[in-house]
Every structure is written in C-alpha cells, then in structure tokens.
Structure 1
Amino acid sequence: MKLQCREEVLAFTKQLVNIESIVNTDGEKVIAHSLYTLLSSFPYFTNNPTHITLEQTINDDHERHNVLAFVKGTKGTSNRTVILMGHMDTVGIDDFNQLKDLACSPDELMEALKNEDLPASAREHLESGNWLFGRGILDMKSGVASHLYLLKYYSEHPEELDGNLVFLAECDEEDGSHGVLSALKTFKSWKEEHNFDYVAAINADFVSPRFEGDENRYIYKGTVGKLLPSFFITGAETHVGSCFEGLDPNFIAAELTKQINYNPELCNEALGETTVPPVSLKQTDLKPSYTVQTALSAYVYYNFFIHSWSPKEVIVKLKEQATIAFEAALSSFDERYKQFCAISGEPYMSHSWQPRVYIYEEMEQLLIQENGDAYVQHMNEFKENLLLDITLDTRMFAARVVEEAWKWMSDKSPAIILFYSSLYSPRIELSGKTDNEQVLINALDLAVEQVQPEYPHPIVTRNFFPYISDMSFVALSDDEEGIQAVSNNNPGWGTKHFVDYQDIRDINVPVINIGPYGVDAHKKLERMETSFSLEIVPNLTNLVIRELLK
C-alpha cells in the first residue's frame, strides 16, 4: 500500500516551520501548544483525550513542553508498540542576516533568495521546484510532519494497526535534551498503564550527503555517541617581562589542541564505520580581565564522537594524549628558553616542572584523603552558591568547580585536570544481538527493497547516525562502569547536571533514523528535497511500522 501523502506532509511541514521555535526561547513553548491544539482537533483524540498529553520538562531552567500521543490499534490484541520521535526546536536564525524575518516563511524566503548571490548548487535547487528552504525545514520539522501524518492516518484507521503507535515531539534537542529525557518518564508510565511492549523507535532527523557528489539517501541503524572531554590547565604565573620564569597555561593548551584536534588515532571504528576525529569547541584562559601577568589557568573542551568506545575508555585514552602534549609543551618551552639565553646572554635556569595529568575523579579522591569533610562540605556549599549564577552553562559551571577544587591542592605546580563537562549522548549499536533488533533490521531491509524501485537515487543503510540526536536516549549500549565514568568525572553531576540513565535502560528499545534529505542544516541555506522527504520518508516509515506490527 502506497500512501498518497505528499500534500498533507507538505502542509504540516510549512505549518510547523512557520512557528519560530529556537531552542531555549519561548518559541519552544509556542510550538508545543500549537501542535497539541492541532492533535487535539483530530477526531480520535477528541474521543480519546487521555491518549494525548502536553507535558512540561523536568529539572529544566526553561519552561517548555513535549507533545506525546498514542493510537491503539484495533486489528488485533498485540501490545507491540512502535515509537515515532522527532524534535520541534531549531537552532537560531541570526545567520539569515537581512532575511531574518523570512527565515521561517519558506515561500517568501525562496522568493527573496532569488535576488541573492547563491552558490551554484543552491541556485539550482531553488529553481528546480523540488526543494524547500527555511530554518528547521530540514532539521527537522519535515521529519516531525511525516510522523504527524502517520499518527493522523492511523488515528483514522486503527483497524489497520495490530499494536500501538506512540508519537513524541520533543523540545530541547539542539541543546540539553531535556525533552526526550523527560519523555522517558511518560513512556515508562504508559508501559505500566497500557502494557505497551516497546519493540522499536523510529527517529526522523535529517540526512545529508557524506561527501560532495554523494547521491545516496541514507537510513541509519543506531547512532554515534558524543562526549565533551574538558581540560582545566594550570601554569606558573609570571610577569610578561620575565616570561621564562613562569609557564603560560595557554601554551600547554595550544599543544593539547595540536595533539587532539583532527587526530586520526582518536577516531573510533566499529561495524566498518569510523567516527570523525575530535575537534576543539572552546579554548580560553580564565583571566577575568587584562593584566600583564600570564594567566593562572586555561580551559579547553573538544567534541568527541564514539561508536564502540566507552566513556571510561575515552578518558583513559585522553589522559595519555594529555601527557604527550604536556611533555611536548615542556620540551618546546625548554628548547626556546635555551635559544633565548643563547642570543640574549642571560643565564639559563632549569625548571623542575614535570607533566602532571589528573582525571577529575583522581583529584577528587586525593583532596578528600588530604582534607576530609572540610573539603567535601566546602565544595558542596560552593556548588550550591554557584547554581545561583544563571549565566553559567553546564560547561562553565564544571570549569568553575574544578577551579575551586584546585585551590585545595597542596602542590600547585602546573597540571592538567581532565573531566566531562556536559551531557553524554550515548552511542547505540544495532547489530541484531536481540530479537527486537533483528526484527527491526529485517523490517527496514524489506521496506527499502520495496520502496527503492520508486525512487531514482540509492537508498543506503548505515550503522551509525553521524550527528548528535535524541536517538541516544532510548537505548543504552554502555555498561554500568562506562556510565559511572561519566557521573564520577562530571564536576556538575547532581547539581547543575544529572541524567537518570536507568530511565533509558527501562525503555531500551532499538532505534533507527528515517529522515528528510537535504543540505546545509544549521545554515542560512538550509533546504530539503521534497520528493524524498515528503513521499519516500513517510512510506518507508509506514512499511517498517507494518512489518514490525504484523
């Protein structure tokens, strides 16, 4: 059965895109209420009002909501349940510059873009009639629209469904994933109340070419994991006029970035696929203002993708890399100091600095051993007071905690402290190791086989969705030791930041991604191809649902 869905999915897409829903703004609240109102107007939910809910996120600094709904099939008595998930929030629109007011109005934006100086490929897409431009149209409101269409279809045809369909439109995917983490609580309560047997989840985040000229349209089984390893670096302060009497922490930070950034040794291969290497997302010193003293400390953090490594393995590898960088920095410093002495005639005075790298957990244990309850009580009070500073995100909060802990170290010689300062998005490996995984893989393969003849470009399955997504929070491939490496080494854990990973284990459902195809997500020329996104995606998803619930 082929769904004639293009026009309805297109209408839903534009309706969602028209609502500016930038993450961490009131727009997230607006779009959730709008979507809830739309769903509530469907006859099925008018007759079954308890099957839809608008829920505010928990433990969140912002007021925002998820929209959740479910349709119970009447074809049989199966409790097998498929989750359809996607996020409503988008990144900002400042990059649209003078077209900012049109960023969420696809038709008007495309008309205005005709007068812009565009790259050749964007110009071709604009004039083709088969692409739509606009903020969120690719990432990922057209994906939500596809799921919305399927929810509406089965609400009108529950007799075709032998099992249940759960719909989640979550907020805050682009920042802290408060949406999906809150939704897990609802999934669990529905599981108990309605006896739902969750067998699969289908996400609808965007897919793009992997390289220039790539014509494949990708479907992903499982997803990449994402960590934010962070480094607090101390040096030896000195006046800049006597620079070789001290050690600039920025110098060590630069060597660390040279060692870690783009390093292929830190790519993680699994199932024949390899992550991109780490890259720096922030590098700064922590001086509050200008002085002619070198900085006391510096702070850097890096994006780090994983396919099979655990957070514990990553922290061990990065301690080794930090040690290598520290040694290189000290060697380079000494070499340059000797060269300076040779040309200036000043005497060379050796320093006793040695590479010192601590994992946060190691430093914490050392300080507790040395200072006991006094240290623990002080740090607890410090963190509680620090929570009052709402300008600090989780990353800077963690840095300030480490900075404060460092003050208690008896040996203040230069050191690197390694920790995690943000949300861990777990990796998900879908290999067929369980019955549910194998059934999902088989259903996907069959769906692609049936749809491929109707579409001119290859539809190709891969093992790891390559971008950060909320897919990470419906299943867990890590063992308890791996998760403890996250909680034990995040200085903000339990105060500024906390994730109940047991909620994920309680759902633990295999997940795939069937999403809209396009290019330039998060950019001014964000756009999606309509034929794949509005027709192929809903039909592929529908075939997988039917195969899973037959």
Structure 2
Amino acid sequence: MLQCREDVLTFTKQLVNIESVVNTKGEKLIAQSLFNMISSLPYFSQNPSRLVLEQTLNDDQERYNVLAFVKGTKGNSNRTVILMGHIDTVGIDDFNQLKDQACFPEKLMESLKSEQLPASAKGHLDSGDWLFGRGVLDMKSGVASHLYLLNYYSLHPEELDGNIVLLSECDEEDSSHGVLSALKTLKRWKKEHGFDYVAAINADFVSPRYEGDENRYIYKGTVGKLLPSFFITGAETHVGSAFEGLDPNFIAAELTRQINYNPELCNEAFGETTVPPVSLKQTDLKPSYTVQTALAAYVYYNFFIHSWSPKDVLEKLKDQAYIAFNNALTSFEERYKQYSAMSGEPFMQPPWKPRVFTYEEMEQLLREENGDIFTTHMNEFKEKLSTNTSLDTRMFAARVVEEAWKWMKDKNPAIILFYSSLYSPRIELTGKTTDELALITALDEAVEEIQPHYQYPIVTRNFFPYISDMSFVALSDDEAGINAETNNNPSWGTKLFVDYQDIRDINVPVINIGPYGLDAHKKLERMEMTYSLEVVPNLTNLVIQKLLNH
C-alpha cells in the first residue's frame, strides 16, 4: 500500500485554495497553477516536452487544460493509461456569508462549527476524517490522487511497464470544451509516442445512492444525457375569445404532465435503471405582456440513457408528444362543451389535429418546398444569431426552430421535437473487447485486494450516474444514433460542434474511481478523507499495475 494520505491531502488543499468556478477567470488560474506545480517536479524539469498547458478550441472563454505523461522504463510496452479529472467547480454563491471561506477548508470548517447543521454533517465535521469546501469532493481530491500518482511514477519510472497520461481538463461543469479539445492532444501523442491507450480512469466523486447506503461505488462506463426539447405552436386569440384559439402553454403543460417523472421513460440495462426525465425549462416565447395568447411555447427535459440511442429517444418522445397533444385537444374540447352549456353560446368543433415533427422532418419538408433559398436563409440567420452572446445553446436552438417555422405553409398548431444541447454519450463497459475485459478484470482484482484494508463495502456498478467527461473518451452509439442527435440539433455546426471522429480515434474503455462524500454542488460539500486520500490512489495504482503488466 502506498503511504499517500498526507501528500494527496496537501495536493487537494493546494487545488481547492484556487477558486476555479466554471466560466470564470479562475479556470485559467488553476490551470496555470497546476502547470507550475507539475513543471517544478524534477522529471518534468528534465523532460519539459512531456507537460503542456493548452487552451481550449472553439471556445468563447479563455481557459486551459493541463496534460502530462510519464514513460515507464521497466520494459518497452506502449500500453498507456489515461488518468483524467476536471479542475473547474460549480459556483460558490450558495455559501452566502461564508463565500470568502468556500475554498479554504480549515477556515470554513471552523466557521461551520457555530452553525446549525444536519446531524450527519455535524458528525462528519466533528470526526476529523472529513474535509469541507467547494471542490474538495467534486473533484479536486480526485485530481490530487492522480497528481500524486503522476509524481510517484515520475520518481519511479522503473516500476512502470508502459505509460501514464494525466489529463486535467476545464469546463466539465458546463460544456466539456476541455476534454473535447484534449482529444486532439491525446491523438497527437498517440501518433508521436506510439501510445496504445488501453484504459482511462476518471476520478469524479461518488456518493450514497440512498439514505443509509454505506457502499463506496466504482463505476464501469457512464450514463448518457440528452436534452430533448419541444417548440410548441398554438393558434393565437384574444383572451376574451379563449376558445377561438389554442394556447401553446396548455399543450406544453400536458406535455410536461406526460413526460415528467414517467417510469416508461426510464432506461434499464444490466439491471440498472436511469431516473426518469424531468423538466429543466418551460416557458412561452412572448417578449412582453399582451392580451393575446402566446404564439409559441418552449420546454426541455433532462433525459438519461443507459442503452437507448438518441434515435431511440426521439422515437419514444415523438409517441409521448402525440399522446400529450391528443390529451390536450380532448381536454380542450370537453371544457369548451362545458363552457358552451353554461354560457348558452354555440359549440364549434375545434379544427385542430395532433401534429408532431422532429426538426429533421420539418427541415426536410421545408427544403423540398423551398429549395436552396430556405437553406441559404437559415444558414445566414444562424450565422447572424451566433453573434448574440446572450443566447446559450438552448435558446439559440429555439430561435432557429422559431425562424424555420415561419416558412411552414400549414401554420396549424404543432410540436417540433429536437435536441438543444450537448449530448453526453452513454458508455457501456461489458468486456466485449480485449481492452474492456482486461480493465474489468484488473478492477475486480484490485477491489478484492484493497477491500480487507477498508471497513465499508467497495461495490462495482455499471453506469456512473452523473454527467461527466467520461462520456467523451469512448462511443457506444452507432452512426445512426449519433446522426439522429446531430441532424436534430438546430445549433449543430454553428453554436455547437463535437468531432465524434476524435472520440472514435481514442475510444478507450473508462471507469470511475473517485473520492467519496456528500452534498456535491451544495454548501456542505465534503469528502471522507480515509477513502478519498488512501483507498482511491491505491485502488487506481493497482489497476494501473495490473493493466500495464497484463
């Protein structure tokens, strides 16, 4: 067992002390600081070309990744393990009056002693084995574990039959510019140094899955995340003549009722089930108050997947949209009849039928009807719209759909289904390739060796349940699945682009061995030191050794 606790703790505190909130100058600062830390190590003083500070590509923020590698001298193997982790954090506003202490664990913990805390947090605070602060759990202690191993092997390359690469990436908490840019460097090193990437080990945080859960989880592969979005048009009317039009908010509400928390939309694979979709935004697109009903509404949902592809999700949600639309029209008609009976006004049969298009279907229809003039107009519209820096990818996509809708000849109410954000691909790790099987075997053996030295169960599961950069080092989706995502994202190629070929070129099996704790993204974020500072580095090291001595 490596005696690493104090060293990993020191690295953790050094990283935590640097405020590195995503989309702020802190991301640049922490990358520069980490680069300086690594460059001061003797190995990198002698081999400066094995350490790089690289700015992200196609990014409206100035921020950087830090990558480094150590070549083993034990043998001539090119087998290479990637150790990856992100150096950005979420914001610190939730710390309120303790905001200036958020990144200084000792000061923060001293202040927390005088606050009323939940019993579990107070117990952890008093135990001496928990560290509080922004980023201690998500995920600077994980990066510190990798940093320790990089340092260790830089001092002992003779113990390494192969190579290790450290990837410390920015922007994990938002748009993954970091890892997507780093793929280019990994590809370059693969070519220049002959690296044979056999595995990636991420060190993102793990937490209990339910109240009273004492397991410490390790994950093979990861959940995928999509953001299915719906542009909903109605038939406008004056509110004084309510039943002469169809309010798109009424359809949107029914759509959310149909999709939100719907167990039919949970994806089970290998005995593990995703949580159901939940809405992240629901709004109409009226710019200001009027007594006319809205022309359009917009809603999008978080959607996790284990085995479904983006194509599968579109098909399932198109069915759900039809159900919701039909329910809305049925309810509208029933209420109209009731109102007519009460008021004595005549009932007129509503003229509308459920209509649901994917964005790709609508775009194809408009191209057939209008030819190049439509395509040219939309390209110019998107280019001009991209100069509006106040629009995120979600609203950018909505505005593109809104513009395309103007070209539709039939303006009767409809739902347009599309994707409006980055797709974080799902990754299945099943043992289907030699590298996958070697990684699963190495992990199982490592856990078996470490478990007797730690009191709580270390349990392996198939899908990391949170969004992470693990999604971008391998692909389980086929081309049709990926095309369904890109062809149905109005931001694609203008506001958003992922070079999936870069991912395919790396395509390395990935697991997550990360620090354990609670309340990530919250004021009481904290990590258990024994597991995070001792078990995690030793487990990771055993997996490295077993893989490279394979």
Query: Same fold per TM (> 0.5)?
Result: yes
Distance in 2 separating the partners of 1:397 and 1:71: 43
Shift of 1:419: 0.3
Who is 1:258 aligned against? 257
Who is 1:99 aligned against? 98
Shift of 1:362: 0.2
Give yes or no for the alignment of 1:214 onto 2:213: yes
Report the residue type matching 2:59 in the other structure.
D
Who is 1:426 aligned against? 425
Q: Provide the identity percentage.
A: 80
Who is 1:310 aligned against? 309
Shift of 1:292: 1.1
Distance in 2 separating the partners of 1:345 and 1:105: 70
Q: Residues 94-133 of structure 1, C-alpha deviation per residue, up to 9 Å, x if partnerless?
A: 1111111111111101111111111111111111111111
Distance in 2 separating the partners of 1:492 and 1:500: 14
Q: Residues 443-475 of structure 1, C-alpha deviation per residue, up to 9 Å, x if partnerless?
A: 000000000001110000000000000000000
Who is 1:414 aligned against? 413
Alignment of 1:30-49 (within 5 A): 30-49=29-48
Q: TM-score, normalised by structure 1?
A: 0.99
Q: Residues 121-173 of structure 1, C-alpha deviation per residue, up to 9 Å, x if partnerless?
A: 11111111111111111000000000000000000000000000000000000
Q: TM-score, normalised by structure 2?
A: 0.99
Who is 2:320 aligned against? 321
Alignment of 1:13-412 (within 5 A): 13-412=12-411
Distance in 2 separating the partners of 1:531 and 1:337: 65
Query: Residue 389 of structure 2 aligns to a residue in which SS?
Result: coil
Distance in 2 separating the partners of 1:145 and 1:344: 71
Report the residue type matching 2:431 in the other structure.
G
Q: Residues 271-292 of structure 1, C-alpha deviation per residue, up to 9 Å, x if partnerless?
A: 1111111110111111111111
Report the residue type matching 1:64 in the other structure.
R
Shift of 1:340: 1.2
Alignment of 1:469-480 (within 5 A): 469-480=468-479
Query: Residue 173 of structure 2 aligns to a residue in which SS?
Result: coil
Query: Residue 187 of structure 1 aligns to a residue in which SS?
Result: helix
Who is 1:486 aligned against? 485
Shift of 1:205: 0.2
Shift of 1:477: 0.4
Distance in 2 separating the partners of 1:290 and 1:70: 58
Shift of 1:297: 0.4
Shift of 1:349: 1.3
Structure 1 alignment gaps of length 5 or more: none
Distance in 1 separating the partners of 2:119 and 2:408: 58
Distance in 1 separating the partners of 2:17 and 2:447: 32
Distance in 1 separating the partners of 2:431 and 2:62: 39
Distance in 2 separating the partners of 1:94 and 1:294: 37
Q: Residues 174-198 of structure 1, C-alpha deviation per residue, up to 9 Å, x if partnerless?
A: 0100000000000000000000000
Moved more, 415-424 or 111-120: 111-120
Distance in 1 separating the partners of 2:26 and 2:391: 22
Distance in 1 separating the partners of 2:213 and 2:312: 33
Query: Residue 282 of structure 1 aligns to a residue in which SS?
Result: strand
Distance in 2 separating the partners of 1:474 and 1:503: 9
Report the residue type matching 1:291 in the other structure.
T
Report the residue type matching 2:358 in the other structure.
I
Query: Residue 262 of structure 1 aligns to a residue in which SS?
Result: coil
Query: Residue 19 of structure 1 aligns to a residue in which SS?
Result: coil
Distance in 2 separating the partners of 1:391 and 1:498: 19
Distance in 2 separating the partners of 1:440 and 1:411: 55
Query: Residue 383 of structure 1 aligns to a residue in which SS?
Result: helix
Report the residue type matching 1:296 in the other structure.
L
Report the residue type matching 1:206 in the other structure.
F
Q: Residues 227-276 of structure 1, C-alpha deviation per residue, up to 9 Å, x if partnerless?
A: 00000000111111111111111110010001001100000011111111
Task: Give runs of ≥4 in structure 1 deviating > 4 Å.
Answer: none
Distance in 2 separating the partners of 1:22 and 1:241: 49
Who is 2:538 aligned against? 539
Report the residue type matching 2:447 in the other structure.
V
Distance in 2 separating the partners of 1:414 and 1:510: 46
Query: Residue 90 of structure 1 aligns to a residue in which SS?
Result: coil
Distance in 2 separating the partners of 1:341 and 1:114: 65
Distance in 2 separating the partners of 1:524 and 1:292: 43
Moved more, 121-130 or 530-539: 121-130
Who is 1:10 aligned against? 9
